[in-house]
Amino acid sequence: MSTLWIRYELDGQAGFGRLEGQRVHEHRGDLFGRHEATGRSVALGDVRVLPPTQPSKVVAMWNNFGELRAKLKLGMPQEPLYLLKSPNSWSAHGAPIEMPRCGGKVVFEGELGIVMGRRCSGVSEAQALEHVFGYTCANEVTQAEILNRDASFAQWVRAKGFDTFCPMGPAIATGLDPQSLRVRTLLDGQVRQDYPISDMTFAVPRLVSLISQDMTLLPGDVILCGTSVGVGSMKPGSTVEVEIEGIGRLSNQLVERSTA
């Protein structure tokens, strides 16, 4: 049985707590350290949901699922292939995804996010899960036309780093076996992605271990595991939902950017 943790804003103050049904049971302290229940609770409908963590970085994987690799005729990666998502891209459940000012083709990518709970540097595969706090849903949004527009430079960071291009949430689930999970992505209520995490090339312990050889992962940092088949484009007005059983359903609508 998983435990769900959620960050929220109420009366202008940020807080966090354990989500049970439609109520949030408030805790105080550090979500990734020492904390305790306050005894107070609030209805989920009375708060504004915040991104489930405030990471120092979000690491996003490429070519990490066998079915998509076969479809795209890609080679087997010998090590994790990843980029970093910029802080301005992080967003919450229910928040709008804004069209970039340059327009173009915007695509959704439903993904599992690994949320780190402890400082993690150079850990072994056997130790890796000791440093993982839990898991969340993510939509790794991309402006697809920018990626390879310049033959001399693949623009991964720009294409994936626009404002609001990394919704995560609504909660972090602890106590889950990631190998048993499936990611479902719905576009305007129609299932577009439905794939198993067990198809990952680098399973969670190996992925965490290998990335930690390159960079120190801090509590709250997120590794996006990559996506599989079914990625597609969306238009302003489209609602995209990323659903993982045991975690919840992340929902965001693509909107035209305000001119204000």
Task: Check whether residue 36 and residue 59 sit in a common domain.
Answer: no
Average pLDDT, the chain: 97
Residue 229 lies in a domain: yes
Q: Indicate if 241 and 199 belong to the same structural domain.
A: yes
Domain around 20? 1-50
**Structural domain count of the chain:** 2
Same-domain status, 46 and 104: no
Q: Same domain, yes or no, for 16 and 82?
A: no
In this structure, the answer to whether residues 36 and 148 fall within a common structural domain is: no
**Over residues 114-130, mean pLDDT:** 98
Q: Measure Cα distances from 217 to 53, 72, 95 in Å.
A: 14, 30, 26
Do 144 and 164 belong together in one domain? yes
Q: What is the DSSP string of 150-182?
A: STT---HHHHH-STT-EEEEEEEEES--GGG-E
The domain spanning residue 79 has which CATH number? 3.90.850.10
- Answer yes or no: do 244 and 124 share one domain: yes
Same domain, 66 and 190: yes
Q: Are 170 and 5 in contact (CB under 8 A)?
A: no
Residues 3 and 78 in one domain: no
pLDDT tens, residue by residue, 130-157: 999 999 999 999 999 999 999 999 999 9
End of a domain among 28, 50, 72? 50
CB 208 within 8 Å of CB 128: yes
β-strands 90-92, 35-43 pairing = unpaired
Q: Element (H or E) spanning 135, and its range?
A: strand 132-139
Residue 260 lies in a domain: no
Instruction: Give the mean pLDDT of 19-47.
Output: 97
Query: What confidence score (pLDDT) does residue 258 get?
Result: 76
pLDDT in tens, 43-57: 999 999 999 999 999
Q: Are 177 and 56 within one domain?
A: yes
Does residue 260 have a pLDDT over 90?
no
| Residue 14 sits in the same domain as residue 134 | no
Q: What is the pLDDT, as a whole number, of residue 154? A: 92
Does residue 65 contact residue 200 with C-beta atoms inside 8 Å?
Answer: yes
Residue 257 has pLDDT above 90, yes or no: no
Contacts of 240 (CB under 8 A, 6+ apart): 97, 108, 110, 139, 185, 186, 187, 234, 251, 252, 253, 254
Give domain status of residue 87, yes or no: yes
Whether 59 and 35 map to the same domain: the answer is no
Helix (H) and strand (E) counts in the chain = 4, 20
Query: In this model, does residue 259 exceed pLDDT 70?
Result: no
70, part of any domain: yes
| Inter-CA distances, 186 with 82, 137, 167, 232, 241, Å | 25, 13, 15, 10, 5
Residue 75 identity (one-letter amino acid): G
